[in-house]
Amino acid sequence: MSGRRHSLTEARRLVVKIGSALLADDATGEIRRDWLDALADDVAACRGSGQEVLIVSSGAIAVGRRELGFHASGPRLKALRLEENQAAAATGQIQLAHAFQESLARHDIAVAQILLTSHDTEERRRHLNARATIAELLRLGAVPVINENDTVATDEIRVGDNDRLAARVAQMISADTLVLLTDIDGLYTADPRKVADAEHIPEVTRITADIEAGAGPAPAGVGTGGMVTKLEAAKIAYGAGCRMVITDGRGLNPLAVLRDGAPCTWFLPQAEPLAARKRWIAGSLRPSGSLIIDDGAVAALRTGKSLLPAGVVAVEGLFERGDAVTLKDRQGREIGRGLSAYGTEDARRIAGYKSGEIERLLGYRGRDEMVHRDDLVITLTEA
């Protein structure tokens, strides 16, 4: 199998998810520094070729357990109470972040820690904040290292496993490629550890019932995922127009090895990430208000620009920051839809003003754009 769609080199914005079993020694719970250093070398190489890289790393619980005197690993992990796991995560996360910082500092790369819950990726206000922070970190050249915020994430706001968290992050920031580094080189028609003639599947374009049946239940051990959560992640990635690849990351330099053609399974979506995001904005969100915009803004929007407060002549309806709004011209025709960076009240105060005046008008320095171009879709292309 070959071609650009199956190549890591094609990635522009890359999310790399690392399973606990790769990062933490199974017996001792210690961080495998040689492995991490080699991964950091891979990350530096990706960035050297112009790729943006984000890391979603598990391992906080596996590392923290040892620190707090729980058994380091193995099936006993499941036996810990929720609070014990949370305590272990809180302890291990410091070590994990520190280890990433040290390994990437060898390449003069700054690291930023981001802890998220499912609310942060789903709820639109939080989603926009997390998205903007991550975008800024990438712009500044830092590598975000992301994990679930295990301290506050219980039950209904838990993602539960980092496979899905990584896919949600990829969706949130419109990444084009998600790499799941795990302990198996991809998807098989059945569990190859149990079924001798299980066949490797190099490419998946749709999750069928057969594929789900082949994935089987989640195994016990330090990771929480197994193949089931990886398929869940693939579904999210498909919806987001993001390619996903599963590969065996246990050896050193797993990204370089993948780039050089290691066995793996690619999940290939039909759409591109930004197109998928725009479809979501255009199709599935119900606008709670409207921004009436002047002719200059209509023209700017049609050339792919953001909507600035200066172009807004009136604000209708009641909406909060992050809500979907309709963008209308002075004649009341719908031009597009988007996520507003300001709620009704603030939007009214800054409407018609230059972005440089936002701080004076609102008392805080908000975003320059009323609706950022990535959060905006044109629905009427000509007058």
Q: Which residues bind ligand GLU (CB under 6 A)?
A: 20, 58-62, 89, 147-148, 150, 161-162, 223-225
Smallest distance, ligand GLU to C-beta of residue 60, A: 3
Q: At its nearest, how many Å lie between ligand GLU and the CB of residue 61? A: 3
Residue 156, number of CB atoms within 10 A of its CB: 8
Of residues 60 and 301, the one with the C-beta less far from ligand GLU = 60
Nearer to ligand GLU, 85 or 344 (CB): 85
Q: Which of 224, 306 has the CB closer to ligand GLU?
A: 224
Shortest distance, CB of residue 329 to ligand GLU, whole angstroms? 47
Instruction: For the CB of residue 73, give the shortest distance to ligand GLU in the complex, in Å.
Output: 11
Smallest separation, CB 85 to ligand GLU (Å): 8
Using DSSP bridges, classify how beta strands 312-317 and 334-339 pair: parallel, antiparallel or unpaired. unpaired
Contact 227, 187 (CB under 8 A): yes
Would you state the structure tokens that stand for residue 61, as one six-digit string?
A: 């619980």
Compute the least distance from the CB of residue 311 to ligand GLU, in Å. Answer: 43
Amino acid identity of residue 121, one-letter, is T
| Residue 223 or 309 with smaller CB distance to ligand GLU | 223
Q: By C-beta, is 62 or 170 nearer to ligand GLU?
A: 62
d(CA 325, CA 277): 15
Smallest gap from residue 243 Cβ to ligand GLU (A): 21
What does the block give as tokens for 2? Answer: 């070959």
CB 321 within 8 A of CB 128: yes
Contact between residue 68 and residue 92 where contact means Cβ atoms under 8 Å apart: no
Q: Is there a contact between 325 and 289 (Cβ–Cβ < 8 Å)?
A: yes
Would you say 36 or 312 has its CB closer to ligand GLU?
Answer: 36
Which residues are CB-contacts of 345 (< 8 A; sequence separation ≥ 6)?
Answer: none
* Residue 308 backbone phi and psi in degrees, to 5: -95, 155
Alpha-carbon torsion (157, 161, 164, 167), positive or negative: positive
Pick 172 or 371: Cβ nearer ligand GLU: 172
Minimal distance, residue 138 CB to ligand GLU, in Å: 22
Q: If you ran DSSP here, which 8-state letter would residue 183 be given?
A: S
By beta-carbon proximity to ligand GLU, the closer residue of 152 and 383 is 152
| Shortest distance (Å) from residue 44 CB to ligand GLU | 23
Both structure tokens of 157: 């706001």
Buried/exposed code over 22-47 (b: 16+ C-beta within 10 A; e: otherwise) = bbbbeeebebbeebbbbbbbbbbbbb
Residue 284 exposed, middle or buried by CB count within 10 Å (0-12, 13-18, 19+): exposed
Choice between 215 and 308, CB closer to ligand GLU = 215
The Cα–Cα gap between 369 and 102 comes to: 36
